[in-house]
Amino acid sequence: MAIVNSSVLNAIRTGFRKNFEDGKVKGEPMYNAVATVVPSTTKSNTYGWLGQWPGFREWIGDRDLNSIKEHSYAIVNKDYESTVAVDRNDIEDDSLGVYAPMMEEMGYASSVFPDELVFPLLKAGFATTCYDGQYYFDTDHPVNAEVDGSGADTSFSNVIVDGTYTGDAWYLMDTSRSLKPIILQERKGMQFVAMDNPNDESVFMRKEFRYGVDCRCNVGFGFWQMAVGVKKKLSYQTAWDAINLMRTFKADGGRPLGLGKNKLTLVVPAADYQLAMQINNREQISDGTTTVSNELRNMFNVISPDYL
């Protein structure tokens, strides 16, 4: 029987931490394809600069300071944790083998956890507001015709909807810019922690040593212009429709944004993954009536997240 002392507990903690780190490298998260990690140093971050697409004008007189549009879009950090309790009897009986895979699984879960936040938010974008007060995927995002607000507003839609479609939505995203369509705000990254003092109350009352991981983070929306949500059957033509729609998006003042031309990501549910790969990879493809040369070949990074 092992004697439960500081030396033994230190060795166990070191081993569990290694198991945790080994598990982390086995994860293959997809969030980084569509989300930018933004460091946070406070309880929440306010993204007042969203909506301000940097552009140029002829410099006549003073700099134009009136073109700045303020938004109150804020992302509040949340706490997340996962914990495993180790029975003192298992330490005394040298029966720790069962915990190694649990710690590895905790590491794996930590590495893909951002996917659990990012892709459900994307799916919720049809009914969740972004920085301009509209749903992220909406039919009437307002854009000023003039940079100083003197012109009449116009609006843009970043959704394509077929009222008879009953499948899951899919998404076209431009990930070519420094800020991607989704923001993953990180206050504190995943940290392995241990409560393994033999004099701890939990050990005294329940014979439990506790090991876990916690973090502080949250997700939110970036620029709506970088994404098109489609509730219509995926096809060669509807993929083109989404691209052509994105190409029309403009910033305040009517300046074209140049989106929809490169580094396009196609985010699809599992049911559409095979078709999405065919659209991206085949040299010939059906346009709905005939077989044509596939002009969309190698256009996309296709991903099919588990948590979409």
C-alpha to C-alpha distance for 224 and 100, rounded to whole angstroms: 43
Please name the helix (run of DSSP H) or strand (run of DSSP E) that holds residue 102, with its range, or none: helix 99-123
Going from the first residue of the chain to its last (308 residues), give the mean pLDDT of each consecutive group of 10, the final group possibly shorter.
77 93 94 96 88 59 50 90 90 83 94 97 97 95 68 85 96 95 96 86 84 96 96 97 96 86 95 97 88 95 96
Identity of the amino acid at 127: A
CB 227 within 8 A of CB 158: yes
C-alpha to C-alpha distance for 40 and 186, rounded to whole angstroms: 6
**Is residue 209 helix, strand or coil?**
strand
C-alpha to C-alpha distance for 91 and 59, rounded to whole angstroms: 73
Query: Between β-strands 182-195 and 170-174, what pairing exists: parallel, antiparallel or unpaired?
Result: unpaired
Q: What is the DSSP letter of 97?
A: T
- Predicted confidence at residue 103, as pLDDT, reads 94
Q: What is the DSSP letter of 152?
A: P
**Is residue 289 helix, strand or coil?**
coil
| Cα 100-104-106 angle, rounded to 5 deg | 115
Structure tokens at 138: 């909406």
C-alpha to C-alpha distance for 169 and 224, rounded to whole angstroms: 16
- Predicted confidence at residue 265, as pLDDT, reads 98
- Contacts with 159 (C-beta within 8 Å, 6 or more apart), sequence order: 126, 137, 138, 139, 228, 229, 230, 231
CB 144 within 8 A of CB 132: no
